C-alpha cells in the first residue's frame, strides 16, 4: 500500500493556506491545518474544505502548542505560512510581528528538528526582505536591505532556515513577491482597490482613499505561487527561490485596471497629496496621508529565472485576469 503524505500548514485560514490546502488535497495528501483561537469565526477562506482537512489548534507564539501539534500530526512536509503579514501594522506592533514572524519560526523549527529531522520544511520568506532595493530586478543573489519590522523579522527567520539547512534539515525559503487573489485580506492594497471599485459601481461608496500611488510591485496570482511552494519541497536538495512574475506596475496602474473592469476610465489630476482620480467628472480616488508608511518600499521587481529553470515553475495568470477576477468576486459578494 502506498503511504499517504501528510502536510501540516500553519496559517491555514489565510489566503495562501487555503490555496495550498486545496492543491495538496487534489494531490492526495492528508492535510492538517493549524489555526489559532479567535473571538470571531476565521474560517471564511476554508469553509468549503473544512470537512476534508484536519484542523488543529495552536499558536506560533506558544511553543507548547507547537510541540503538541507536531507530535499529534507527525507530518512529512510543513508549510509555515502563519504570520503577522501586514507590513504597515508591523511599524506599531513590532514586538508581536517579531514574536510571530521570527520566534514563531524558531519555535517550530526547534520542535520539528527534535521530533524528526527528516521533515521537509517550507518557510514563507518575502520580497520585503529586499526593502530599499540594492539592485533591480531582485534575485537570489541580491543583498537584503529590509526597512520595516516585518521585513527584518522575516529576514531573521530566513537566516534561521539556512542555519537548520546546514544542520541537515530539508528547509526551503520561498522569497515570494506580492501575490493576490479574491481571498486576499481587505487591508492589502489590491483587495482594498477591487472591493472599493465594486462598491463604487454598486453605488455603495463614493470614493477610494489610498496612500502612495507611485509604489511599484510585481503582482502575481496566489494559486500559481502556492504551486511553487510545493515544487520546492519535491526537489532532491533544499534551496531558496525567488518567485515572481518579472513584471511590475504602480498602485495607480492597478487602480486603472480595476476601474476598467467596470467600464470606467480614470483621469488623474494634481500631484502628491493633492492628486485625484476623476471618472465622469466625479472624484473616485484621492490620497490620504494616513495610508502612508513611516518607511516605504518603493519598488519590488523579481527575477524568477532560477525557479523557472530548476523547478520548471511558470506564473500562469495574467495581471489583467487577476484584477478582473478580484473585481468580479467582490461584485458577486456585495450583490448577495
CB of 167 to ligand F7E, least distance (A): 26
Work out which of 77, 128, 224, 240 binds ligand F7E, going by CB under 6 A: 128
The SS3 call for residue 280 is coil
The DSSP 8-state label assigned to residue 178 in this structure reads P
Contact 7, 30 (CB under 8 A): yes
Site string for ligand NAP, 25-44 (x = CB under 6 A): -----------x-x---x--
Copy the grid coordinates of residue 254: 492597478
240 binds ligand NAP (CB under 6 A): no
Taking the C-alpha atoms of residue 245 and residue 307, their distance in angstroms, rounded to an integer, is 11
Using alpha carbons, select from 115, 243, 103, 229 the residue that is nearest to residue 172: 229
Work out which of 73, 126, 194, 196 binds ligand NAP, going by CB under 6 A: 126
In the complex with ligand F7E, the residue whose CB is nearer, 212 or 279, is 212
b/e per residue 271-304 (b: at least 16 CB within 10 A): eeeebebebeeeebbebeeeeeeeebbebbbbbb
Work out which of 6, 7, 8, 16 binds ligand NAP, going by CB under 6 A: 16
Of 160-168, 226-234, 289-297, 312-320, the window that binds ligand F7E (rule: CB under 6 A) is: 289-297
Work out which of 67, 73, 84, 90 binds ligand NAP, going by CB under 6 A: 84
Contact 25, 5 (CB under 8 A): no
Question: In terms of DSSP H, where are the helices of 213-318?
Answer: 222-233, 251-261, 305-306
**Residues 151-210, interacting with ligand NAP (CB under 6 A):** 176, 178-179, 185
| Active site annotation includes 126 | yes
**Residues 249-288, interacting with ligand F7E (CB under 6 A):** 251
Binder of residue 121, out of ligand F7E, ligand NAP, none (CB less than 5 to 8 A by kind): none
Taking the C-alpha atoms of residue 14 and residue 12, their distance in angstroms, rounded to an integer, is 6
Total site size for ligand F7E, rule CB under 6 A = 22
In a 13 Å sphere around the CA of 73, the CA atoms on its Cβ side amount to 31
| Active site annotation includes 150 | yes
Q: Which of 79, 122, 150, 241 is catalytic?
A: 150
Q: Report helix angle 63-73 to 104-115, nearest 10.
A: 40
In the complex with ligand F7E, the residue whose CB is nearer, 59 or 128, is 128
| Active site annotation includes 19 | no
Q: Which of 73, 97, 126, 245 is catalytic?
A: 126
Beta strand spans in 69-182 (E): 77-80, 120-126, 170-176, 179-180
Work out which of 56, 100, 200, 255 binds ligand NAP, going by CB under 6 A: 100
Taking the C-alpha atoms of residue 283 and residue 285, their distance in angstroms, rounded to an integer, is 6
Interaction site with ligand F7E (CB under 6 A)? 85, 87, 126-128, 177-178, 187-190, 192, 210-212, 215, 217, 251, 291, 293, 296-297
- Enumerate the active-site residues: 126, 128, 150
Interaction site with ligand NAP (CB under 6 A)? 10-17, 36, 38, 42, 59-61, 81-85, 100, 124, 126, 176, 178-179, 185
Amino acid at each position: 500500500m502506498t503511504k499517504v503524505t501528510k502536510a501540516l500548514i500553519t496559517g491555514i485560514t489565510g489566503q495562501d493556506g487555503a490555496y495550498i490546502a486545496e492543491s495538496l488535497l487534489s494531490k492526495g495528501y492528508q492535510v492538517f491545518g493549524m489555526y489559532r483561537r479567535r473571538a470571531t469565526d476565521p474560517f471564511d477562506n476554508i469553509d468549503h474544505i473544512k470537512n476534508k482537512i484536519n484542523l488543529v489548534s495552536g499558536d506560533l507564539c506558544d511553543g507548547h502548542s507547537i510541540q503538541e501539534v507536531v507530535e499529534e500530526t507527525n507530518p512529512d512536509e510543513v508549510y509555515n505560512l502563519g504570520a503577522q503579514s501586514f507590513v504597515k501594522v508591523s511599524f506599531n506592533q513590532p514586538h508581536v510581528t517579531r514574536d510571530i514572524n521570527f520566534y514563531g519560526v524558531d519555535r517550530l523549527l526547534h520542535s520539528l528538528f527534535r521530533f524528526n529531522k527528516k521533515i521537509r520544511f517550507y518557510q514563507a520568506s518575502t520580497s520585503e526582505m529586499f526593502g530599499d532595493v540594492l539592485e533591480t530586478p531582485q534575485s537570489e543573489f541580491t543583498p537584503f536591505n529590509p526597512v520595516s519590522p516585518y521585513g527584518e523579522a522575516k529576514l531573521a527567520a530566513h537566516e534561521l532556515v539556512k542555519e537548520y539547512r546546514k544542520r541537515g534539515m530539508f528547509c526551503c525559503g520561498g522569497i515570494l513577491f506580492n501575490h493576490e487573489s479574491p481571498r486576499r485580506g481587505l487591508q492589502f492594497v489590491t483587495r482594498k482597490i477591487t472591493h472599493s471599485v465594486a462598491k463604487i459601481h454598486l453605488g455603495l461608496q463614493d470614493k477610494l482613499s489610498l496612500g502612495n500611488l507611485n509604489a511599484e510591485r510585481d503582482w502575481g496570482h496566489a494559486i500559481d505561487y502556492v504551486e511553487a511552494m510545493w515544487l520546492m519541497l519535491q526537489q532532491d536538495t533544499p534551496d531558496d527561490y525567488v518567485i515572481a512574475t518579472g513584471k511590475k506596475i504602480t498602485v495607480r496602474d492597478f487602480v486603472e485596471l480595476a476601474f476598467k473592469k467596470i467600464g470606467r476610465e480614470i483621469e488623474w489630476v494634481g500631484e502628491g497629496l493633492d492628486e485625484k482620480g476623476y471618472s465622469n467628472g466625479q472624484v473616485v480616488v484621492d490620497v490620504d496621508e494616513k495610508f502612508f508608511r513611516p518607511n516605504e518600499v518603493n519598488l519590488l521587481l523579481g527575477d524568477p529565472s532560477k525557479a523557472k529553470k530548476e523547478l520548471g515553475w511558470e506564473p500562469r495568470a495574467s495581471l489583467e485576469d487577476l484584477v478582473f477576477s478580484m473585481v468580479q468576486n467582490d461584485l458577486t459578494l456585495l450583490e448577495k
